[in-house]
Amino acid sequence: MRKMAVIGLGHVGATVAYTLVSQGIADELVLIDTNEKKVVAEKLDFEDAMPRLPYHVEIKTQDYAELKDVDVIITAFGDIDASVRTGNRFAEFEINTKNAVEVGKKIKESGFSGVIIDISNPCDAVTSILQETTGLPRNQVLGTGTFLDTARMQHVVGDALGQDGRNVEGFVLGEHGNSQFVAWSTVRVNNKPITEFFTEEELEELGKKPAEGGFKVANGKGYTSYAIATCGVKLAQAVLSNAHFFGPVSTYVEEVGTYVGYPAIVGAKGVEKVVSLVLTDEEKAKLEQSANYIKEHLDSLK
């Protein structure tokens, strides 16, 4: 019995929930949001869809006690308007640090012992607060982090070369935000180094696009939903199936002393292992700078 929960049913949380229901990924699904009317409506809409779906999902609402035996919680609370207006995911820092503490305490009180996957922004900081507040081991609390930004990098590089983005390997590292960077030393296309295809100047221009991509979507439709929801669900599936999945997530990296986007192996208990990369000196400096930016904001809360 696969039991999951989504906390926060805005555009992203609702898309996550729809994916879990329509693809039969969860057998039981707990939906929680501060907007009671919205939760009731989402539940009814899903139940109306059930007779036309190949799966049945038992849906429960607004009960933190139900989290005790949940396998995976996906947190998607927040105020996307703040990020869209400012072009900075840390615009949600004030509201979402409070949300993370409040939600984290309730998760802890429920007796939950599974894995939390955070989508809420600023992702790395909120993931850190959720871990501290719930008291769960660091490996059991992770965020989508640069998983989405890496997909955006694969997309733009693939487009530039007329290739499927899945043929592009490599990572965007650091904050899921403006201080992120493409670690070009890790990027390969059809197993060839990226430097065989682009000059240094061209890579510099391409490197700006992943960070810009989300705001282009948000400015066009007022929010982002499909890509980030897909990333959250993909990581949840890795946990549910103990997939030992290798990819970039927001995880605690001892080397820089904070949660940050970095590759790891994800399985039944969350992050099984952080996989060290051999980076250039410039990339190491960028990672340190990005990590410090996250830590400065977290330190301001203390």
User: Is residue 225 annotated as involved in ligand binding?
Assistant: no
Q: Are strands 141-143 and 115-118 parallel, antiparallel or unpaired?
A: parallel
Measured CA to CA, the distance from residue 56 to residue 24 in angstroms comes to 7
136 is in an annotated binding site: no
Average pLDDT over residues 197-221: 90
Q: What is the pTM of this model?
A: 0.96
For residue 43, pLDDT beyond 70 = yes
pLDDT of residue 92: 86
Dihedral sign (CA 257, 259, 260, 265): positive
The reported pLDDT for the residue numbered 36 is: 97
Q: Is 8 annotated as a binding residue?
A: yes
Alpha-carbon gap, residue 136 to 140, rounded angstroms: 6
> What is the phi/psi pair of residue 62, to 5°?
55, 30
Torsion-angle region of residue 298: left (phi > 0), alpha (psi -120 to 50) or beta?
alpha
Residue 50 pLDDT exceeds 80: yes
* 190 assigned ligand-binding residue: no
Out of 56, 155, 176, 244, pick the active-site residue. Answer: 176
Mean pLDDT of 55-75: 98
pLDDT in tens, 131-152: 999 999 999 999 999 999 999 9
Non-local CB neighbours of 82 within 8 Å, separated by 6+ positions: 91, 92, 95
Indicate if 176 belongs to the active site.
Answer: yes
Q: Is 152 annotated as a binding residue?
A: yes
Average pLDDT in the chain? 95
The pLDDT of residue 89 is: 65
Q: Which residue has the higher pLDDT, 40 or 78?
A: 40
| Residues in the chain, total | 302
Q: Could you give phi then psi for residue 82, rounded to 5 degrees?
A: -65, -45
Residue 297 makes CB contacts below 8 A (sequence gap 6+) with 90, 93, 122, 125
pLDDT, residue 82, reads: 62
pLDDT bin (cut points 50, 70, 90) of residue 285 is very high
Distances (CA, A) of 74 to 3, 84, 170: 12, 22, 25
Give the pLDDT confidence score for residue 211 in this predicted structure: 80
| Residue 52 predicted with pLDDT over 80 | yes
Residue % of the chain over a pLDDT of 70: 97
pLDDT at 219: 86
138 is in an annotated binding site: no
First to last CA, the chain: 40
Domains, in order of start, for the chain: 3-143 (3.40.50.720), 147-300 (3.90.110.10)
48 assigned to a ligand binding site: no
At 74-131, the pLDDT tens digits run 999 987 766 666 566 678 888 999 999 999 999 999 999 999 999 999 999 999 999 9
* Residue labelled with tokens 């109306």: 48
Provide the percentage of residues in the chain whose pLDDT is more than 90: 88
135 is in an annotated binding site: no
Q: What value does the mean pLDDT take over residues 158-182?
A: 96
pLDDT tens-digit series, residues 218-269: 889 988 999 999 999 999 999 999 999 999 999 999 999 999 999 999 999 9
Quick one: pLDDT at residue 215? 82
Please give the Cα distance from 207 to 217 (Å, whole number). 17
CA distances from 205 to 187, 197, 202 (A): 15, 14, 5
Predicted local distance difference test score (pLDDT) of residue 88: 65
